Amino acid sequence: MAQYRKIARDGLWDNNIVFGQMLALCPLLAVTGTATNGLGMGLATTAVLVASGLAVSLLRGAITPEIRIPAFVLIIACIVTVVDMALNAWVHDLHKVLGLFIPLIVTNCAILGRAEAFASKQAPLASAFDGLMMGLGFTLALTVLGGLREVLGSGTLFANASVLLGARFGFLETVVIPDYQGFLLLILPPGGFIVLGFLLALKSLADSRRRAASAAETARAARSFTAVGVLPRPEEGETS
């Protein structure tokens, strides 16, 4: 159980594909002009991450170290192509929205990264779970980045969400700033870099706050243990 908790924590926050590993920035900048596009790309990538994690883990016994990279690329490209064809054939309306993003998934180095760093060494279930958590963390990053760029760049949030998620999710479409003239810089790729920079700074700030808080907690606990004589008193002149 502890292992799964760590996988979830790694995928969603500590080792998040975008905010932690700084991978997959190419599809990130291309699609995060709106929150809806970010969400769509995130969900499609999650599906591929789960499937590739499972496939790589199942085949890890057969893949020798010399051929692992081409073998992983083959597996991932195969999954992406099959997903693309299946969506086009049977969920055509969704394919019209996501179709643009699906071939882009192959260029996502994070998927190869997870295959190499995790799935090639771990059991199938853990690998699929790692794919799910990494994918959800990626979806979170894409949606937040897309939402920020959309609000600041076009004054809307989740525009066209009903095309992606169905008419029931039409309520998500909001106009945040009416009669907004738009801020082109944020919609274009440089805006993606700028907003990403601010988000990375925020995460780093939150992490350092948390580290400081937990360090203070440890220090306080150490002091109280010292007071009751559980821990030895620090020597004179020694700093903690």
Partner 1 sequence: MTDTAPDPSRLSALKTSPLAPGLLLALFSLGTALILALSDDLTRDAIATRATEDLYASLAQVMPPASYDNDPTTSLRQMLDGEEMIPVYVGAEGADVSALAFALTGYGYGGAIRVLIGLDAQGTLLGVRVLAHAETPGLGDKIETAKSDWVKGFAGKSLQSPAPDGWKVRKDGGQFDQFSGATITPRAVVATVHRGLTLFKANRAALLAPLDAEERG
Residues that bind partner 1 (CB under 8 A): 33-34, 37, 62-64, 66-67, 70-71, 74-75, 77-78, 81-82, 85-86, 88-90, 92, 153-154, 160, 163, 181-182, 184, 187-188
Instruction: Answer whether 172's CB lies under 8 Å from 158's CB.
Output: yes
Helix (H, G, I), strand (E, B) or coil at 16: coil
DSSP characters over 91-115: -HHHHHHHTTTHHHHHT-HHHHHHI
Residue placing its CB nearer to partner 1 in the complex, 37 or 46: 37
Of 48, 136, 128, nearest to 84 by C-alpha is 48
> Least CB distance from residue 174 to partner 1, whole Å?
15
Q: Give 172's DSSP letter.
A: G
> Taking the CA atoms of the chain, what radius of gyration do you get in angstroms?
22
Residue placing its CB nearer to partner 1 in the complex, 63 or 109: 63
Residue placing its CB nearer to partner 1 in the complex, 179 or 238: 179
Residue placing its CB nearer to partner 1 in the complex, 91 or 227: 91
> Least CB distance from residue 184 to partner 1, whole Å?
6
> Least CB distance from residue 83 to partner 1, whole Å?
9
Instruction: Answer whether 34's CB lies under 8 Å from 151's CB.
Output: no
115/131 Cα distance (integer angstroms): 9
Residue placing its CB nearer to partner 1 in the complex, 194 or 200: 194
> Least CB distance from residue 82 to partner 1, whole Å?
5
Say which residues have a Cβ less than 8 Å from residue 108's Cβ, sequence separation at least 6: 23, 24, 26, 27, 45
Half-sphere exposure of 192 (CA within 13 A, CB side): 21
> Least CB distance from residue 153 to partner 1, whole Å?
6
